[in-house]
Amino acid sequence: MKALLLAAGLGTRLRPVTNRTPKCLVPINAKPLLEYWLENLAQAGVDEFLINTSYLCEQVEEFVSTCKYKDMITLVHEKELLNTGGTVSANSDFFGGKAFMLVHADNLSFCDFKAFLNSHVNRPNGCEITMMTFKTDNPSSCGIVELDEFGVVQKFYEKVQNPPSDLANGAVYICEPSVIEFIKSLGKKEVDFSLDVLPNFMGKINTFLNDVYHRDIGTVESYALAQVEIKLNFIDF
């Protein structure tokens, strides 16, 4: 399977950490965040990666040129950020008409990624996306989902006050080619995945619960927490 790792963001909420370092390369216990994703997904069977760049792109290019996964990686530069769906649409040829993984690489995530892939293979009939979910300690800052008895998303609440639960969208997906077709049908250059795409697929989104570890490295506070949590939980990385 191929994976798109979204790594082009400015990381404004993570300043001053990101003043001189792109968010995807901030170190977690001396290892760049992006390296965790490459290692975890390669071990699970992902064999090709597309990584988009923009802010401080030279650093990402340098990292890729020296990492052991460099022969599996294609870089694509965005002069203007296209947002998640826009990046998927602009690089649709890369996926070759097959299912692909879509990852917001500003998260730190550990789980059985092979089980995640198998969850999509064995998804309920009619589902076109498999979404990784997790239990969040800050529900109002996340997209919260409501599921039916089969684990299929029925409702989605994007960063609302007093959401109905703590079950959150992890912004890690496996998508069928039909998702690209829908994005292209919107006729927009910039497409927000949560606001423009997911609402169209209610009742068609399978879920996989990551009950090991998942944290958005989006703020200085969450970045600091991740450093401590990895050490305390003795996650083998």
DSSP state of 152: B
| CA-based nearest residue to 167, from 195, 137, 192, 194 | 137
Instruction: Tell me how far apart the alpha carbons of residues 112 and 51 are, in angstroms, rounded to a whole number.
Output: 22
One-letter identity of residue 192? D
Using only the alpha carbons of the chain, give its radius of gyration.
17
Task: Please confirm, yes or no, whether 159 is among the known catalytic residues.
Answer: yes
CA triplet 76, 55, 158: central angle to 5 degrees?
90
CB proximity list for 64: less than 8 A, separation 6 or greater: 51, 70, 73, 75
Phi, psi of 18 (to 5 degrees): -95, 10
Q: Which two tokens stand for residue 25?
A: 């390369």
The catalytic position among 159, 189, 204, 231 is 159
Torsional sign, CA 188, 192, 193, 199 = negative
Tokens 């006729």 sit on residue? 187
Instruction: Tell me how far apart the alpha carbons of residues 136 and 190 are, in angstroms, rounded to a whole number.
Output: 28
Three-state DSSP class for 138? Answer: coil
Residues noted as catalytic: 159
